[in-house]
Amino acid sequence: MTGFGQGCSEVDGVVYTVEIRSVNNRYFKAQIRTPDMAAYLEGEIERLGRDSIHRGTVSYTLRMKNISGEAFFDIDENAMKTYVRRLNDLLGDGDGHSRIDLASMLSLPGIVQPVVP
């Protein structure tokens, strides 16, 4: 049961490439690699594999490439405003030299959200 397969498809401006490799093994073992924005699919991929393949080590790799020009992420403006308001409250009047850096803001939890194509 050693094998390799690859397929590509374009849906809504996103090119999906899937590679599946398998090698002999006594038991079923899935090795799944997906982009962070598709990590929620890993459980379903493993379930589908386990239902149809009973033994072997199977490696699944999913790649996604955006060709539409649209972003794979969105910025949660409400979360950003909440952070800015809270930071301004903490700084108070301050010394006037404190600034809120946009790059630092974008790294805070909940600001940048993946857009699932």
pLDDT digits (tens, 9 = 90+) for 60-85: 999 988 887 777 778 889 988 998 88
Q: Which pLDDT score, from 0 to 100, does residue 12 have?
A: 82
- Average pLDDT, rounded, for the chain: 86
Q: Which pLDDT score, from 0 to 100, does residue 114 have?
A: 73
Q: Which pLDDT score, from 0 to 100, does residue 97 have?
A: 66
Q: Is the pLDDT of residue 23 over 80?
A: yes
| DSSP output for the chain | --EEEEEEEEETTEEEEEEEEEE--SSEEEEEE--GGGGGGHHHHHHHHHHH--SEEEEEEEEEEE-SS--SEEE-HHHHHHHHHHHHHHHTTTTS-----HHHHHTSTTTEEEPP-
